[in-house]
Amino acid sequence: MAIFPQTRTAPPYSAAARRPSLRHFGPNWYATVMGTAIVASAGAALPVHVPGLRAACAAVWVLSALLLAAVLAARAGHWAAHRDQARAHLLDPAVAPFYGCLSMALLAVGGSGMVVGKDVIGHRAALALDVLLYTAGTLTGLAAAVVIPYLMIVRHRTEPGSASPVWLLPVVAPMVSAALGPLLVTELPAGQWREAPLLACYAMFGMSLLATLVMLPLVFARLVHRGPLPLVLTPTLFLVLGPLGQSTTAVNALADVAPGAIQAPYASALGAFAVLYGVPVMGFALLWLALSGALVVRAARGGMTFAMTWWGFTFPVGTCVTGAAGLARHTGLAAFTWLAVALYVLLVAAWAVAGARTVRGLIGGELLAAPRGAAPVTAGAA
């Protein structure tokens, strides 16, 4: 799901450059946590019963929690030992947007814990964990949604027509909070204790959606005017599916809890909105999936090799699974059920490939190696 400076360069590396180092462990690594956690929550959301699936999802959730702990520790070590590099990442327009992944990793693990993790640690522990991770994830997501665009405006210097799908990462984080907030709404006392967070989730839905509508035309204009992305960046096209699938998931999840949180006629109106919004957006998501899939096939035929960008095939597709499952719940259409199943099969296959290649890259040292010939950081005065 992520790009990092070393993905802009190609092997071979020298023996010294291949030594693993936390110096080059960037925020893109949170994508491994997001992509793993969504496999658990999306599998549990499927509107079909598959023997053994829930137990498998619970095991995947445990893996995602362990990954989160490992990546958090590695990132803390990165900041402690290589603060100059960490600051340089914030000034690099290719890396800074991935700071939004921290929020989504926290939220994804907390939310999937409430869905399937409770089978392992119990409901009370899962609730306490989700409150902690949801609070931290929402606060960091709101901060990233402001700070990263601020840096893009006043410090980063990008060429016209160079918009990238990774620009969506900071602004989509509040949408993840909106989609997972309903899991906690039902745990609160009735009345304003539920209504306030429900409407706060809709506010985060709105801020993320409108920011996405600002940035998405820039991404498409870049493709039309300058042609396909470089091979290594082609998988990032799947990131566009994130706000589409997550917003569909959000409106359906919020509609599920609205009757117990807000009075009529708003509760029924929000249920209708979930379908009226979700169906057209899911249609556009399928269009973008076909377009980006065709470009990925083209890139693969052109020699695209593995990079951390391949994690872009996981979390965004997972949000479309949960979005389609929500529409199946509210419409009763079997078509959405089978769409969710088909997308989940794609998600699991992508996760297995990305995970296996990442493990191989870690063992070989390539993924933590020092980049060669990375593009210089360009920044303006504050």
pLDDT tens for residues 363-382?
A: 888 888 776 544 444 344 33
**Residue 379 covered by a domain:** no
How many angstroms separate the Cα of 173 from the Cα of each of 118, 146, 254?
A: 24, 11, 17
Q: What CATH number corresponds to the domain at position 77?
A: 1.50.10.150
160 exposure class (CB count in 10 Å sphere: 0-12, 13-18, 19+): exposed
Q: How many structural domains are present in the chain? A: 1
Question: 99-137 burial string, b = 16+ CB within 10 Å, else e?
Answer: bbbbbbbbbbbbbbbbbbbbbebeeeebbebbeebbeeb
**Residue 98 covered by a domain:** yes
pLDDT tens for residues 308-322?
A: 999 999 999 999 999
**Residue 74 covered by a domain:** yes
Helices 334-364, 30-45: axis angle to 10 degrees equals 150
Please identify which residue in the block is written with the tokens 């967070």: 197
- Residues of the chain predicted below pLDDT 70: 1-20, 371-382
Alpha-carbon distance 6 to 113, whole Å? 33
What pLDDT is recorded for position 263? Answer: 87
The pLDDT mean for the chain works out to 90
**Residue 357 covered by a domain:** yes
**Residue 375 covered by a domain:** no
- Domain that includes residue 112, residue range: 5-368
**Residue 377 covered by a domain:** no
What pLDDT is recorded for position 15? Answer: 40
What pLDDT is recorded for position 372? Answer: 58
**Residue 360 covered by a domain:** yes
**Residue 263 covered by a domain:** yes
Q: HEC states along 342-357? A: HHHHHHHHHHHHHHHH
Whether the upstream peptide bond of residue 12 has omega within 30° of 0, thus cis, is yes
